[in-house]
Structure 1
Amino acid sequence: MHKRMNWKAINFDWNQVRSFLATAEKGSFSAAARVLEQTQPTVGRQVAALERSLGITLFERVGKSLNLTSAGADLLVHVQEMAEVANRISLTATSQSNTIDGQVKITASDVMSAYQLPPILKQIRLAAPRLEIDVVATNDLRDIQRREADIAIRHVRPTQPNLIAKLVAEATAHFYATPSYLDQVGRPKTETELAKLDFVSFGDVATIIGFLNPAGIPVTAQNFRIGSKSGIVSWEMVRQGLGVSVMSDDVAAMTPGVERVLPGREPFKFPIWLATHSELHTARRIRLVFDQLAEQLSAPSRVPQR
């Protein structure tokens, strides 16, 4: 039985709490450090200081990963609630909500637009209800300089001149399929076994093969007999049991009925960039949405991974 905590007697250092939260939800000090834009030793020291102040052990090391203890899991529930409250306070305090209006056009991939943006936009709408937000869900690179969008969310660093770009997160992805499909074909234990399964393509097959082969997955065009240029359609095909695909862990965690394939494999990592035109960044409505997108996208995922 772990030690009960007297919550009224604890004076939290919010930096320690943020480090604990990021570590708990990302699984390591190094991943938490990237999210928080701090060094790994700093995050480790802050978590250790929180453990000392509480008089409990929050993590136990298993291989290269950190697992929550039962006391850590109890604390995580309360800390997540604190983070949500703090975020709502921040939104209200910084937005001057009732005085900001006008339209903000955001472009992002169709998958991010459908799965990850709505809860973020809900928070922004609560804080600035007079804003008009238009989401341009597209997988091509819209030109901010030609005002096709005010803010772009991209997985490659924008190179156009006169843009403000900010790296807000490094996301992870794994292979996913439905349990029913894996029951039928068998659960692969190696990359070679994985390459014998059906893959659902998203976009150009040659590009996908060029991404997977160097990563040790010896797939060929024969693996890709079904797919779509739409990420949403491809992901639905996976969800309907048509094969395997790589997907963001955050999106997979929001999707019932999918299972991680080769769960012990190192994740794919990809950046999340925000970009806007330097002139637009001075507009209050653009600055508000840009800053809140940066804050929300850089926050540790609130959804447990499957």
Structure 2
Amino acid sequence: MDWKSIKFDWNHARAFFVTAEEGSLSAAARALQTTQSTLSRQVSALEQEIGVTLFERIGRGLVITPSGLELIEYVKEMSEAANKFSLAASGRSNQVEGSVCISATEAFAVFLLPPLLKKLREQEPGISIELIASDASSDLRRREADIAIRHYQPNHSDLIARKLQNGKAFLYASPDYLHSIGHPKTCSELEKADFIGFANNDPYVKGMSEIGLSLNSKNFPYTTANHMAHWALVKEGAGIGVMFEYIGEREPKVCKVSDQIAPFIAETWVVTHRELRTNLRIRLVYDFLMEELTNIFKHT
């Protein structure tokens, strides 16, 4: 049978479903507020449309056939979907429920997102959030996350990405550490200072070079793969580290190393997969993050 060619009237399918649920044409007719003869014609019409016998007529009663039993579950799902559609269309279904997985860098996940996610939960109590805090990128195409906040533009056409205003990151240190090295102001004065490095330090050193700081391995007595450990060492006075301005300016244990040193410029993208177009839950969280993060970045 060529199932692609089958077409049927939903009213006929509903008549079949209610008749099977109620157990008789008379009970189904009362449930649907129609006549028994109308309902019988609709069931017969569905049988002709799909070419399957749904009921055996025994005397004045009906007994559902094995084929009918097989199909009833599909029609039940259609009925439930139609009911949800009707509720949503009439505005009576305002609750959005389910889980959304968000991936973000450690700094964003620890310092930036918690108050935003708390606010989201207050607005949408039916949504639960899984937060992945990692500087490694989650693969959205494999659904390792639903939404990712990244510092580079994705290059896959099947991802949807919107760019936020560029963020600024500065060098920070504890006041005690800066006092111990004579409060340097210029890049040349900083070239003998201790810096907190990263496990993959080459991009960091390259970024330093671009703003005029020439550093080598002797400048990095500490390295770590974890930005939170990096930041903890900075707060403890172990050396100089880097952090986004929005986060650094809210930490009382540190201060900017110097206003004469240019900031690092960081792109920030909010990325998701194509399910954004059809999944209301993901769309709601994505739009919420875009609005909240845009407001934050405007004031930094």
TM-score scaled by structure 2?
Answer: 0.66
* Deviations, residues 62-97 of structure 1 (Å, cap 9, x unaligned): xxxxxxxxxxxxxxxxxxxxxxxxxxxxxxxxxx99
Q: Which whole-Å CA distance do the structure 1 matches of 2:262 and 2:206 have between them? A: 18
Q: Secondary structure at the match of 2:229?
A: helix
Cα pair 2:139 2:145 within 8 Å, conserved = yes
- Are residue 286 (structure 1) and residue 292 (structure 2) matched? no
* 1:230 aligns with one of 226, 229, 243: 226
- Are residue 195 (structure 1) and residue 186 (structure 2) matched? no
Shift of 1:264: 3.2
Shift of 1:195: 1.7
The residue aligned with 1:81 is: none
Q: Which whole-Å CA distance do the structure 1 matches of 2:95 and 2:187 have between them? A: 55
Shift of 1:240: 0.4
Q: Secondary structure at the match of 1:210?
A: helix
Q: Secondary structure at the match of 2:203?
A: helix
Q: Which whole-Å CA distance do the structure 1 matches of 2:93 and 2:240 have between them? A: 44
Shift of 1:178: 0.2
Q: What are the equivalent positions in structure 2 for 1:94-113 lying under 5 Å apart? A: 99-113=95-109
Shift of 1:98: 5.8
Cα pair 1:166 1:275 within 8 Å, conserved = yes
- Are residue 245 (structure 1) and residue 241 (structure 2) matched? yes
Check 1:274–1:301 CA distance in 2 against 1; reply closer, same or farther (3 A cut). closer
The residue aligned with 2:211 is: 215
* 1:168 aligns with one of 137, 153, 164: 164
- Which aligned segments of 4 or more residues in structure 1 are displaced greater than 3 angstroms? 300-303
- What is the alpha-carbon root mean square deviation over aligned residues? 1.9
The residue aligned with 1:273 is: 269
Higher relative contact order (CA closer than 8 Å, sequence separation 6+): 1
- Aligned residue pairs total 209
* 1:146 aligns with one of 142, 146, 153: 142
Identity of aligned residues (%): 36
Q: Secondary structure at the match of 1:99?
A: coil
The one-letter code of the counterpart of 2:97 is D
* Deviations, residues 33-82 of structure 1 (Å, cap 9, x unaligned): xxxxxxxxxxxxxxxxxxxxxxxxxxxxxxxxxxxxxxxxxxxxxxxxxx
Cα pair 2:187 2:261 within 8 Å, conserved = no
Check 1:129–1:185 CA distance in 2 against 1; reply closer, same or farther (3 A cut). same
Q: What are the equivalent positions in structure 2 for 1:1-306 lying under 5 Å apart? A: 99-300=95-296
Q: Secondary structure at the match of 1:169?
A: coil
The one-letter code of the counterpart of 2:293 is L
Q: Secondary structure at the match of 2:284?
A: helix
Shift of 1:265: 2.8
Q: Which whole-Å CA distance do the structure 2 matches of 1:152 and 1:256 have between them? A: 29
* Deviations, residues 83-122 of structure 1 (Å, cap 9, x unaligned): xxxxxxxxxxxxx996011000000011110000011111
The residue aligned with 1:69 is: none
Cα pair 2:211 2:261 within 8 Å, conserved = no
Q: Secondary structure at the match of 2:261?
A: coil
Shift of 1:270: 1.0
TM-score scaled by structure 1?
Answer: 0.65
Check 1:97–1:253 CA distance in 2 against 1; reply closer, same or farther (3 A cut). farther
Cα pair 1:97 1:127 within 8 Å, conserved = no
The one-letter code of the counterpart of 1:215 is I
The runs of 5 or more residues in structure 2 that have no matched partner are: 1-91
Check 1:301–1:278 CA distance in 2 against 1; reply closer, same or farther (3 A cut). closer
Check 1:97–1:111 CA distance in 2 against 1; reply closer, same or farther (3 A cut). farther
Q: Which whole-Å CA distance do the structure 1 matches of 2:278 and 2:168 have between them? A: 32
Shift of 1:168: 1.8
* Deviations, residues 149-199 of structure 1 (Å, cap 9, x unaligned): 000000000112211000022111111000011111111121011121000
The one-letter code of the counterpart of 2:182 is G
**Larger Rg over CA atoms:** 2
The one-letter code of the counterpart of 2:172 is Y
The one-letter code of the counterpart of 2:243 is M
